[in-house]
C-alpha cells in the first residue's frame, strides 16, 4: 500500500504515512483514510516512511520512502503533500521529504501528532531550533490536534498558518443499549490501550489497581500495548497483582473491539499527550474516561461529565475516580451516554474529513 493511487481527475495529494500495521496513534488515524471518502474526493498517493522494527529496518524504510517520493514528484507530481509527523526521530525522518516538496514548489500540509515539543524545540540547542523553524516555515499549513497545541506551535510559525483538526472517533450507538450497559458495568474491567513508556504513566496503573481492588476484589485491569513493559511488570509482581492486572501485548482487530465492547472504564494516566486516539476510540464505545489534565485531554473529556480528570501521577485520585463510578451505577451510565454523545457531536469521522478537505482546497487555490 506504499504507492496507491485512486483517480487522476481530482486534486492530487501525496500523503506521507506510517505502515498501517505500526503500533501507535498516527497509524490508527491514517488507517481510517484508506477506502474512505477522502479517496473518492482526491487522487491520493500513499508513501510509507516508517515501520515497526529495529533501527536498520526503520532506516531502510525511510530510505525507500525518499526514493518513492522522488519518483512521485517526477512521474505523478502532486498538487499538495500531506505529511504526518511527530517530534523526536519522526521530525528528522520527514525533514528531507519536506525539503524535496518545498524545492519542487509544492504546497505542504504538515499534520503534527506529537506532544514532546520541549525536547524538539523549546529546550533544544540553537541548531535544532533553526531546523524546526526552517522546516515548519516551509509548510503552507500546520495541522495540530488541539487549541493548546496551536498556541504552543504559534511560537514557531504565525498562528494563521496553523489549523486545529482533532482526531476522530468511530461511533457505536448500540453500546448504550440497556443490555450492553448492564453487562459492561457488571464486568468491572478497566482498559488501557497504548504504548508502554514513561510519558504514558502506565507504571502508575498497578498502584491504582491495588487501591481499587481493596474495594472491588473482582476488578480486572487489561493493559494492551508494547514498549517498555519491564517497570510495569515489576510493579505488578511487587504488589502481587498477577491475577488482577493483565498484559496481553499489543491488541488490534477483533480482539481490540471485543475489549472496547466489554470493558467498563477506559484509563489513561498520561503525563503528556496531544490528543490521544485511544480516548476517542473509547468514547465512541461509550466508555467513561479516567485520565489526566494534560495536553488535549481536557478538550476531549468533559470533567465530571463523561470522565474524571486528575493531575499526572495522582494514583489516589484516579483510583477514587474508578471507585466512584463502580459505587454509583447511575453516574457511570450517564458518563457512558455522555462519552458517546460528545464523540458523536465533536469528533465524528465526517467532521474530521470535512476539515481536512477544506485545508486541501485552501492551500491549492
Angular region, 240: left φ>0, alpha ψ -120 to 50, beta rest = left
Per-residue model confidence as pLDDT tens digits over 164-213: 999 999 999 999 999 999 999 999 999 999 999 888 999 999 999 999 99
- Residue 197: other Cβ atoms inside 10 A: 16
Split at pLDDT 50, 70, 90, the class of 7 is very low
Are 12-167+348-363 and 173-346 in the same CATH fold?
yes
pLDDT at 236: 98
pLDDT at 5: 45
Average pLDDT score over residue span 273-293: 94
Mean pLDDT of the chain: 94
pLDDT at 229: 95
Average pLDDT score over residue span 268-273: 92
Average pLDDT score over residue span 215-220: 98
Would you give the end-to-end CA distance of the chain in angstroms?
Answer: 29
Q: Domain map of the chain by residue range?
A: 12-167+348-363, 173-346
Per-residue model confidence as pLDDT tens digits over 243-262: 999 999 999 889 999 999 99
Average pLDDT score over residue span 210-237: 96
Least confident of 223-227, 295-299, 319-323: 295-299
pLDDT at 262: 97
- Beta-bridge partners for 289: 266, 307
Instruction: Quote the pTM value.
Output: 0.85
**Model confidence at 295: pLDDT above 90:** no
Per-residue model confidence as pLDDT tens digits over 149-159: 899 899 999 99
Per-residue model confidence as pLDDT tens digits over 98-139: 999 999 999 999 999 977 787 788 889 999 999 999 999 999
pLDDT at 115: 73
Indicate the angle between helix axes 126-137 and 89-103, nearest 10 degrees.
50
- The grid coordinates listed for 72 are 512521485
**Reduced 3-state DSSP string for 150-204:** HHHHCCCCCHHHEEECCCCECCCHHHHCHHHHHHHHHHCEEEEECCECHHHCHHH
Angle at 32 between CA 27 and CA 37, to 5 degrees: 145
Residues 185, 332 contacting (CB under 8 angstroms): yes
Average pLDDT score over residue span 16-33: 91
pLDDT at 289: 98
Per-residue model confidence as pLDDT tens digits over 331-359: 999 999 999 999 999 999 999 999 999 99
pLDDT at 3: 47
| CATH class of the domain at 12-167+348-363 | alpha beta
pLDDT at 248: 96
Split at pLDDT 50, 70, 90, the class of 6 is very low
pLDDT at 184: 97
Residues 165, 352 contacting (CB under 8 angstroms): yes
Instruction: Please state which CATH number belongs to domain 173-346.
Output: 3.40.50.2000
pLDDT at 148: 85
The residue among 273 and 234 whose pLDDT is bigger is: 234
Amino acid at each position: 500500500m506504499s504507492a496507491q493511487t485512486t483517480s487522476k481527475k481530482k486534486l492530487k495529494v501525496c500523503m506521507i504515512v506510517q505502515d498501517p500495521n505500526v503500533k501507535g496513534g498516527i497509524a490508527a488515524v491514517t488507517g481510517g483514510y484508506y477506502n474512505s471518502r477522502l479517496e473518492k474526493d482526491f487522487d491520493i498517493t500513499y508513501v510509507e516512511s516508517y515501520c515497526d522494527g529495529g533501527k536498520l529496518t526503520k532506516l531502510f524504510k525511510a530510505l525507500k520512502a525518499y526514493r518513492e517520493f522522488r519518483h512521485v514528484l517526477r512521474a505523478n507530481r502532486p498538487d499538495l503533500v500531506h505529511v504526518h509527523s511527530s517530534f523526536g526521530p519522526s521530525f528528522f525522518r520527514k525533514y528531507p521529504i519536506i525539503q524535496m516538496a518545498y524545492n519542487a514548489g509544492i504546497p505542504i500540509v504538515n499534520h503534527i501528532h506529537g506532544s514532546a515539543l520541549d525536547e524538539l524545540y523549546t529546550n533544544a540547542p540553537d541548531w535544532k531550533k533553526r531546523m524546526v523553524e526552517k522546516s515548519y516555515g516551509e509548510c503552507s499549513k500546520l495541522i495540530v490536534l488541539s487549541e493548546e497545541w496551536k498556541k504552543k506551535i504559534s511560537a514557531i510559525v504565525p498562528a494563521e498558518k496553523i489549523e486545529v483538526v482533532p482526531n476522530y472517533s468511530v461511533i457505536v450507538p448500540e453500546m448504550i443499549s440497556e443490555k450492553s450497559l448492564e453487562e459492561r458495568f457488571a464486568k468491572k474491567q478497566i482498559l488501557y490501550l497504548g504504548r508502554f513508556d514513561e510519558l504514558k504513566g502506565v507504571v502508575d496503573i498497578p498502584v491504582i489497581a491495588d487501591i481499587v481492588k481493596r474495594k472491588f476484589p473482582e476488578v480486572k485491569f487489561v493493559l494492551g500495548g508494547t514498549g517498555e513493559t519491564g517497570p510495569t511488570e515489576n510493579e505488578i509482581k511487587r504488589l502481587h497483582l498477577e491475577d488482577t492486572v493483565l498484559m496481553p501485548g499489543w491488541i488490534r482487530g477483533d480482539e481490540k473491539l471485543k475489549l472496547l465492547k466489554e470493558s467498563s472504564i477506559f484509563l489513561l494516566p498520561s503525563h503528556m499527550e496531544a490528543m490521544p486516539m485511544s480516548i476517542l476510540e473509547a468514547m465512541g464505545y461509550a466508555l467513561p474516561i479516567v485520565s489526566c489534565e494534560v495536553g488535549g485531554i481536557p478538550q476531549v473529556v468533559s470533567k465530571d461529565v463523561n470522565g474524571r480528570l486528575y493531575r499526572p501521577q495522582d494514583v489516589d485520585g484516579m483510583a477514587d475516580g474508578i471507585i466512584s463510578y463502580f459505587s454509583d451505577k447511575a453516574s457511570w451510565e450517564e458518563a457512558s451516554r455522555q462519552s458517546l454523545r460528545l464523540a458523536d457531536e465533536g469528533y465524528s469521522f465526517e467532521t474530521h474529513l470535512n476539515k481536512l478537505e477544506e485545508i486541501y482546497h485552501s492551500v491549492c487555490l
